[in-house]
Chain A
Amino acid sequence: MAINWFKYSAPTTFYGLAGKLIPWFGISAAILFAVGLYIGFYVAPTDYQQGEFYRIIFIHVPSSIISMFLYLIMAGYAALGLIFNTRLSSMMATAIAPTGALFAFISLWTGALWGKPMWGAWWVWDARLTSELILLFLYLGYIALHASIDDPRRADRASALLAIVGSVNVPIIYFSVKWWNTLHQGSTIKFSGTSMHVAMQQAMFITLVACWLYAIAVILARVRSIILERERHTKWITELPEVKN
């Protein structure tokens, strides 16, 4: 088993594997989105407090969760690349960043749209939304740093360090923002009570999985382009069918 992992940690073999996996992930994501949204909009009932507006959660909650987890995964790959000097790990970290940032943006956008009917304002300094905004800044900082350094090795290692420092800070930032929010009696965007109708839970879980599958598909596709770019001097790249056209 250990040998298999190392085989796929080489860009050459990973490139092929990723290529085969992408369509599977992509199609299952599309199917699950369709199923999840059907349940969310047709099966799940109207909420007695929030009416129809709550149906935003089927995209808002998954995108929040994924943006946060992707940051940690990105930092993990970055740390692997830093410690073990594996090229593919750094490439994965670079591939994850834009997807994570976009999910953070979707989370903020949908959060604002949820806030408007609930609180009458497009933005409320809710602790979670504010932490999400800071997370977006952390993503953007990572992307900006990586883009500013010409030498790919220095770029990978510097942004890896930044990602690790960022992920250590995330709990501190979250805690301090929560603290700040309760002090200022800020509003909290949350669901009506603790019990959610079964169909709502099902729909949210399905769309969460759908978003994950989509994220994996896009990240794998992006990392393939990064592999092509970084390994363009090698022989195996020139032997690829898509290059020989």
Chain B
Amino acid sequence: MKKETMSGLFMLVIRRDLMLAMRRRADVLTTLIFFVMVVSLFPLGVGPEMDMLRKMAPGVLWVAALLSSMLSLGRLFSADHLDGTLEQMMLAPQSLSMLVLGKMVAHWMVSGLPLVLMAPVLGIQFDMSAEALGVLIIGLLLGTPILSMIGGIGAALTLGLRGGGVLLSLLVLPLCIPVLIFGTGAVEAVSTGLSVASHLSLLGALLVLALAFTPWVTAQALRISME
């Protein structure tokens, strides 16, 4: 009976966050537009030479995805914190970790998934091959949830602080570096002929680790921030 309530609540949290996000569609779109703009800045900055852009492409796309995810993380808990919902969630008998995981999933669906869908379009601008694009998408699919989850810890720790957004990025970016390295490494392995699978499986392993630990850690961080 309790298990049913837990997963039921989990779905409820996801559905609620998605509904709230849909009402504030502008927030969702600004993240996506930021992603596109940042990616476009690079050719403008380094010149349109196709060989160089092709080599830079995985790195540029991954860094842009990382930065775009950072932008929207501040909103993960702030709205609920302001209207008192967060306090209610913390008083609930159900596991806070589960609720947090629900919020992270919703956040990823709203901020991460659109980036994954947008990336191939931008990748074509950088003349990436179909195979490279495929590996890029899989990598982003595995990696963006990790970014949402690690970012969740940062969002919980910086809840309500002034200068929160930049501080959050400062805290979270170093922790996301392994994801960046394996994600870009996978794409580069396509052209060098080295093992793509090893990079992607390392990403997969990080995803599993994140799923196992970040909700609980974030719940602890929320308790610390709210006491």
Contact = CB atoms under 8 A, between A and B. Distances in A.
Nearest to A148: B161
Nearest to A180: B181
Given A165-B217, A166-B175, A169-B175, A148 B181 contact: no
Contacts of A176: 177-178, 181-182, 202
B162 A177 contact: no
Interface stretch (B85-93, B112-120, B137-145, B218-226): B218-226
A172 interface: yes
A148 B167 contact: yes
Interface string A7-48: 000000000000000000000000000000000000000000
B174 A179 contact: no
Nearest to A178: B181
A98 interface: no
A138 B177 contact: no
B170 interface: yes
Tell me the interface secondary structure of chain A in the complex: helix
A144 interface: yes
Interface string A144-183: 1100110001100110011001100100110111011001
A161 B175 contact: no
A53 B158 CA distance: 45
Interface size bucket, B side? 20 to 34
Interface residues on A, range: 20 to 34
B227 interface: yes
Interface string B183-207: 0010010000010000000100010
A158 B181 contact: no
A183 B225 CA distance: 41
B174 A137 contact: yes
A180 B174 contact: no
A95 to B, nearest CB: 20
Nearest to B224: A157
B178 A172 contact: yes
Contacts of B163: 148
A162 B171 contact: yes
A179 B203 CA distance: 13
A141 B181 contact: no
17 contacts: A134-B174, A137-B170, A140-B170, A144-B170, A145-B157, A145-B167, A145-B171, A148-B162, A154-B224, A161-B153, A161-B217, A162-B157, A165-B175, A169-B175, A173-B175, A173-B178, A176-B181
Given A165-B175, A175-B178, 4 more contacts: A134-B174, A144-B171, A145-B167, A183-B194
Interface of A: 134, 137-138, 140-141, 144-145, 148-149, 153-154, 157-158, 161-162, 165-166, 169, 172-173, 175-177, 179-180, 183
